[in-house]
């Protein structure tokens, strides 16, 4: 059943909506990873990284809503059900239980880097079929790159 009719041709809509659905899965999974790390981080940098994880979660959740609404606007119902996220999520995640602050930083760098790489592939794939979706993906990539940079900067020793 199609409730909303897209202005895109079917082939272009399919490419755009596949990219949007994959991005939705990544963003919702990223928000869960951020919260898992947020609840379980331990170590001397607990507070600063704990707060930074909330920024990642807020960014991922805000973008996931925009991505889902774009898919709906194109006539494809977004799928953010837990089983869909569990089945399609492939980004790195922290281990179970307490996680040292340095490990959280490393896994967040890896997770964000993987998400950014996947977004860049989708940016390329949507360039011709739907520049509007491509623009949305570019915006998300910029925000995730900023978050990755902030975590990556945590990897360097501080000068005393």
Across the range 125-147, mean pLDDT stands at 98
pLDDT attached to residue 2: 59
Is the predicted pLDDT of residue 29 greater than 80, yes or no? yes
Supply φ then ψ for residue 57, to 5 degrees: -60, -45
Pick from 112, 124, 125, 103: nearest CA to 45: 103
Rounded to an integer, the average pLDDT of 94-107 is: 96
Mean pLDDT of the chain: 94
| Token duo for residue 148 | 């990755």
Q: Is the pLDDT of residue 6 over 80?
A: yes
- pLDDT tier at 157, thresholds 50, 70, 90: low
9 DSSP 8-state letter:
-
Residue 4 has pLDDT above 90, yes or no: no
Q: How far is CA 149 from CA 46, 49, 81, 111, 126, in A?
A: 18, 13, 30, 12, 25
Judged against a pLDDT cut of 70, whether residue 160 lies above it is answered with no
């Amino acid at each position: 059943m199609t409730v909303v009719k897209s202005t895109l041709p079917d082939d272009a809509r399919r490419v755009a909506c596949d990219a949007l659905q994959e991005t939705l899965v990544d963003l919702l999974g990223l928000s869960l990873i951020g919260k898992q790390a947020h609840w379980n981080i331990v170590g001397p940098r607990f507070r600063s990284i704990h707060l930074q994880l909330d920024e990642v979660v807020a960014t991922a959740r805000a973008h996931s809503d925009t991505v889902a609404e774009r898919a709906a606007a194109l006539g494809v119902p977004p799928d953010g059900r837990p089983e869909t996220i569990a089945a399609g999520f492939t980004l790195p995640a922290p281990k179970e239980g307490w996680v040292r602050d340095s490990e959280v930083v490393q896994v967040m760098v890896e997770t964000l880097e993987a998400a950014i790489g996947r977004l860049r592939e989708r940016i390329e794939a949507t360039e011709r079929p739907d520049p509007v979706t491509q623009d949305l993906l570019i915006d998300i990539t910029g925000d995730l790159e900023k978050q990755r940079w902030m975590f990556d900067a945590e990897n360097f020793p501080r000068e005393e």
